[in-house]
Amino acid sequence: MDGSWLGLMIVFVGGVVGGGVRAVLDQVIVPSQHGGLPWGIVVCNVAGSLVLGVLVGVVPAGSTPALLIGTGGCGALTTFSAFSLHIVQLARASFQRAALYLLLSLGGGLSFALLGVLLGQAVGQLGQVGQVGP
């Protein structure tokens, strides 16, 4: 998709949904209190990494689903700024908790992104089974 207003609006809609999901999960999944781990953001970052990995293997870059789900949805769902802020806040209270959060987020995010890419490639190959020609 080109840089049209329609493409921008598709990203916007995905961002509204992704941001809303992140806000809800951050409140529902053991909210960050008194130096505790922000589990809602961990779930958002890891799940978003998985979804984005699958998406990369299934849909072409720049397509409507890539813009809606990838750029908009996953871009708003996952959040490096909140991740960085939580590390600073956790480190003030407990270096061990900050380190655990860092390892869970990075390790989980990278692992699930890889898993998503592999799943996306497998799904993409399944879609090609039985097709004739290029």
Helix (H, G, I), strand (E, B) or coil at 129: coil
Q: Which amino acid is at 69?
A: I
Q: Which helix (H) or strand (E) holds 60?
A: none
Q: Can you give the pLDDT of all 134 residues of the chain as single tens digits?
A: 556 899 999 999 999 999 999 999 988 887 666 567 888 888 898 899 899 888 888 999 899 999 999 999 999 999 777 788 788 888 988 999 999 999 999 999 999 999 999 999 898 888 776 565 55
CA atoms within 13 A on the CB side of 129: 6
Q: What is the DSSP letter of 93?
A: H
